[in-house]
Amino acid sequence: MGFPDLPRSALERSIADLVEKAGDVLQSQGRLRNLLAATRAIAEDLDLEDMLRRIAQAAVDLVGARYGALGVIGPDGRLEQFIHVGIDADLAARIGHLPRGLGLLGALIDDPEPVRRELLADDTRSVGFPAHHPPMDSFLGVPIRVRDEVYGNLYLTDRADGPFSSEDEELLMSLAAAAGVAIDNARLFGESERRQGWALAQAEIASALLDEDGDDPLGLIASSVIRLTDASVVAVVARTPAGAFATEDAWGEDAADYV
């Protein structure tokens, strides 16, 4: 009858623990590299709409979620935009209107702190899903802040390998912080481009007014407004001798409907 080699068993356990910890470190390092790659991808383009979709996709990829969304909060405190990932266009059309920010989504708006749940249904603030909506279990939500303003929230559901972890939450908060900086830069860039566009339009209009043989100033104004505001129609409305208002001219795709 032999006796167990206690020192050797302890050494083997220590080695096994070290191997496990090394694996955890390597996994964490890999996730950090993924976070850095995600932040670089977010900042590639300064077009805000494209950036919001990239942020939502990066969040899904980073934490291994099946579904994700970025909700932008409007002036009324509800969701004015909801950029979703994981639900195709046909299914989205069957579901109908996009979320407005009720239930647990609204709770994150009212109290912008991270929310992590193993089961959505266990949270008393959850209001369920509309018809045709896929079932969702685990949930992770974090706010996106731009300077001191809560710009919106990231919502992730259905992690592939079980419930969301505290590490997932930390990674998503880091991504949200990077997203806030990128969104701020995109908005500043957009405002700068708009100011430059208006300044150029004003110079062109002033030149047309001074040149008798130049372009029609009203047409130039209208085309500038359409270009700079994404308007579909611009109309010139004047008061008639009778005191009513009448459209004198209009420009744009549906201009004929207004003249």
Please tell me the least confidently modeled range out of 29-33, 157-161, 172-176, 202-206.
29-33
- Tell me the three state secondary structure of residue 10: helix
Give residue 233's pLDDT.
82
pLDDT digits (tens, 9 = 90+) for 121-167: 777 677 667 677 777 789 999 999 999 899 999 999 999 888 999 99
For the full predicted model, state whether its pTM sits above 0.95.
no
Residues 49, 51, 56: CA angle, nearest 5 degrees: 100
Please tell me the least confidently modeled range out of 15-29, 92-106, 196-210, 229-243.
15-29
Q: 């500038």: which residue's tokens? A: 224
Give residue 20's pLDDT.
54
Domain 6-189 sits in CATH 3.30.450.40: yes
Strands 245-252 and 233-239: antiparallel
Q: Which residue has the higher pLDDT, 208 or 168?
A: 168
Domain boundaries defined on the chain: 6-189, 191-257
Q: 């912080």: which residue's tokens? A: 177
48 touches 187 (CB < 8 A): yes
CA-to-CA separations, 6 to 2, 12, 17, in angstroms, rounded? 12, 10, 16
Q: Which residue has the higher pLDDT, 77 or 226?
A: 77
